[in-house]
A and B are shown apart, each in its own frame.
Chain A
């Protein structure tokens, strides 16, 4: 340590020699990079729901984003979509009144509600007999377009089922992924793309998907 007296500016450090300089762990660096990449991709999309979501709860959103970043980065499009779907689910639960625009356990009330609000007709099934009662529906905005969001319950868990017209024809079987503690199941059927998300178990969601598609 150089002991030159200090004259107000540019003096010699007193503790620098002995105190630790903590360098950022590589894992943190990688996590931040992947989050930035995801964020900048997201920001290049229509900003409508992005900013609405941020306003809805920056704190919660950042918690989620970090957890998202912890997950292994998958290929761009799917990764982004999973993230959007999970975020939409979380947002729907954030405050009273976000979950449903139409509150009904009757599919014949919920389905017509979407008429004139969407450019497609969502499939609305009541799965109460299988243990998944319909609780309502609302409009949401995912993948750059307005989508139908149906809400169901599985015991105490809320399930969001998003539907929109599939970009490509074809059918796909229900496929399960998890995202920061939420289970997501996606499938394609009859020209619609379905995304189911909940904090219920993945097995539960797969069962729902199976029953719904019947």
Chain B
């Protein structure tokens, strides 16, 4: 199979995942399309280097990096450094998932509200939540894509979820 054919069969199936991540990071359709196109161009260029690695995390890493480069250039305010001081605490990640009344409250949250809350999360938290919860990726994969240790993935997930929960609760409260 030629290069185009191999690219089609291994990388193209992950276009939706690529677009979803880019759309959540850029927060609009037009920019997401631009970023994904550019990322695919890069992916094609470095396709030979993919050998042996899994296509989805490999591609998403390119998409993710293209997104952040784009954000740094076009919306630097979106790329705030995160405080990972408590990173490595897997417990924190677990703690945020417990079945609390606050979490149950989220069940009544509608899609628009969740989308808004997630969109407003700092990009560093947003990306791990999107990969974990919307894309259903493993911690290991997320760590590879975001270029951070697994412990940081977990602590960012924990904090991101916490922030998201608070944001959603506030929205639900305001709405009712």
Binding site for B on A (CB under 8 A): 1, 3-9, 11-16, 18-25, 28-29, 31-33, 35-37, 39-40, 43, 54, 62, 65-66, 69
| Pair B4/A36 contact, Cβ less than 8 Å | yes
Choice from A19, A36, A43 contacting B134 with Cβ under 8 Å: A19
Range, interface on chain B: 35 or more
Query: How far is A69 from B37 in the complex, measured between Cα atoms in Å?
Result: 10
Q: Does residue B53 face the partner (Cβ distance < 8 Å to A)?
A: no
Interface of A is mostly: loop
Q: Are A37 and B4 also in contact (CB < 8 A) when A6-B94, A24-B36 are? A: yes
| Pair B93/A32 contact, Cβ less than 8 Å | no
| Pair A18/B109 contact, Cβ less than 8 Å | yes
Interface of B is mostly: helix
| Pair A24/B111 contact, Cβ less than 8 Å | no
Output the nearest chain A residue to B113 by Cβ-Cβ distance: A18
Binding site for A on B (CB under 8 A): 2-4, 7-8, 12, 15-16, 18-20, 23-24, 29, 32-34, 36-38, 40-42, 44-45, 90, 93-94, 97-99, 103-104, 106-107, 109-111, 113-115, 118, 129-130, 132-134, 136, 138-139, 154, 161, 164-165
Choice from A4, A19, A66 contacting B99 with Cβ under 8 Å: A4
Contacts of A12 in B (CB 8 A): 97
Chain B: minimal CB distance from A108 (Å): 44
Output the nearest chain A residue to B100 by Cβ-Cβ distance: A3
Choice from B8, B41, B93, B130 contacting A62 with Cβ under 8 Å: B41
Q: Are A40 and B38 also in contact (CB < 8 A) when A16-B136, A28-B19, A29-B15 are? A: no
Contacts of B29 in A (CB 8 A): 25
Q: Are A39 and B44 also in contact (CB < 8 A) when A3-B99, A12-B97, A15-B129 are? A: yes
| Pair B37/A66 contact, Cβ less than 8 Å | yes
Contacts of A14 in B (CB 8 A): 97, 103, 106, 133, 161, 164-165
Choice from A21, A28, A33, A54 contacting B36 with Cβ under 8 Å: A28
